[in-house]
Amino acid sequence: MLNISSVSITFNEDTQDEKKALQDIDLTLDKGDFVTVIGSNGAGKSTLMNVISGSLKPDIGIVEIDNKNVTSIPEFKRSAFIGRVFQDPMAGTAPSMTIEENLAMAYARNKRRTLRTGVNKKRKLLFIEFLETLHLGLENRLTAKVGLLSGGERQALSLLMATFTEPNILLLDEHTAALDPSRAELITNLTGEVVDKFQLTTLMVTHNMQQALDLGNRLIMMDKGQIILEVSGKEKQELTIEKLLHEFQRIRGEQMANDRAILG
């Protein structure tokens, strides 16, 4: 489904601020894989997401989706088969548009349909059906402006918009980080349900190690632009935060400098 080979990105090359954000990254995701991504600040997690979504082009290396080389395909053309939710609840939706208008916009991106944008009666029923799955009562607020929703509500809507078109790949970049614990838990649970329902191939960046352990069938740990640890299947099920921290120390010879990850 997704194949990344030998991808490197260096920012500000040959200057004092040179930063090797990704160094020779190889990663293959099979259809339905749900990979959680952890690593300290600046490890290269968001850069990896940007390379997959097409908002950044790698200096070296190839990105393939469904056996198609998309390395040079711009972000707006990839959006039909990639769904994305950002850390910032304000980023994924248009605040001055209503809930149904936002959904119609996302619906129009759907790779499997060629309908025009807009809201008709049949589609409205479909939107209501989808909103009901969130259990937030948003189905009764179709004409409410999205800017009036709470962060958690917006993030739930963003998740719905990113997924109800059944993208080939779902990218989640700390999409629960800005929410209070109970909302974060709600969105975490919704994520698990949605990914499961559509069998989406998913990469989820999180600072919350427990969340990284609870969700998904695979886990990768990044550090200094590299993938330093990959765990999957039964080994992942048996993983604990203590083991993860121990592994980091064993690989890097130092303690992980990230309180948020440990506490999270």
Ligand X SMILES: Nc1ncnc2c1ncn2[C@@H]1O[C@H](COP(=O)(O)OP(=O)(O)OP(=O)(O)O)[C@@H](O)[C@H]1O
Residues making contact with ligand X (CB under 6 A): 11-12, 19, 21, 39, 41-47
Residues 6+ apart with CB under 8 A from 137: none
Bridge partners (DSSP) listed for residue 37? 205, 220
Of the candidate residues 34, 37, 46, 63, the single one contacting Mg ion (CB under 5 A): 46
Closest to ligand X by CB, 46 vs 191, is: 46
- Region of 86 please: left (phi>0), alpha (psi -120 to 50) or beta: beta
Residues 6+ apart with CB under 8 A from 121: none
The one of Mg ion, ligand X, none whose footprint includes residue 54, by CB under 5 to 8 A per kind, is none
Shortest distance (Å) from residue 180 CB to ligand X: 20
The one of Mg ion, ligand X, none whose footprint includes residue 92, by CB under 5 to 8 A per kind, is none
Q: Does 258 bind Mg ion (CB under 5 A)?
A: no
Q: Does 201 bind Mg ion (CB under 5 A)?
A: no
Nearest-5° angle of CA 201, CA 182, CA 246?
60
Shortest distance (Å) from residue 203 CB to ligand X: 12
Q: What's the rounded Cα separation, in Å, for the pair 94 and 90?
A: 8
Q: How many Cβ atoms sit within 10 Å of the Cβ of residue 208?
A: 20
The one of Mg ion, ligand X, none whose footprint includes residue 42, by CB under 5 to 8 A per kind, is ligand X
Could you write out the three-class secondary structure of 108-166? HCCCCCCCCCCCCHHHHHHHHHHHHCCCCCHHHCCCCEHHHCCHHHHHHHHHHHHHCCC
**Angle of helix 151-163 versus helix 99-108 axis, rounded to 10:** 30
Shortest distance (Å) from residue 18 CB to ligand X: 9
Residue nearest to Mg ion (CB): 46
Closest to Mg ion by CB, 46 vs 98, is: 46
Closest to ligand X by CB, 48 vs 159, is: 48
Shortest distance (Å) from residue 141 CB to ligand X: 32
The one of Mg ion, ligand X, none whose footprint includes residue 11, by CB under 5 to 8 A per kind, is ligand X
Shortest distance (Å) from residue 21 CB to ligand X: 4
Cβ contact 56:32 at 8 Å: no
Shortest distance (Å) from residue 168 CB to ligand X: 22
